[in-house]
């Protein structure tokens, strides 16, 4: 198991810190765009804003994104409901 604490390179705080930097570097290099075999069919963005009940000078904002994504390639074949 590569994640076993006994097999990880480096020990102590600096080893842990190096692993965290490695995770962040990998995350930065990872492509996060949608794969080309999927299509967004529906998208709705809703933004709600309200003044904070504790401090009216602070504005609370909630952003909600609803999406329906259809994959062009399906991993599993579709079954008919007729049986």
Dump pLDDT digits (tens) for 21-38.
Answer: 999 999 999 888 766 777
How far, in whole angstroms, is CA 51 from its chain's centroid? 29
Cβ atoms of 31 and 19 within 8 Å: the answer is no
Boundaries of every domain in the chain: 1-32, 34-72
Cβ atoms of 24 and 49 within 8 Å: the answer is no
Dump pLDDT digits (tens) for 48-75.
Answer: 999 999 999 999 999 999 999 887 766 6
Question: Does the predicted TM-score (pTM) go above 0.85?
Answer: no
């Amino acid at each position: 198991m590569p994640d076993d604490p006994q097999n990880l390179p480096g020990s102590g705080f600096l080893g842990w810190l190096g692993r965290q930097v490695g995770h962040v570097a990998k995350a930065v290099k990872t492509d996060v765009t949608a794969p080309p075999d999927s299509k967004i069919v529906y998208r709705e963005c809703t933004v709600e804003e309200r003044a904070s009940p504790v401090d009216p000078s602070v504005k609370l904002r909630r952003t909600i994104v609803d999406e329906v994504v259809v994959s062009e390639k399906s991993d599993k074949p579709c079954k008919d409901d007729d049986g």
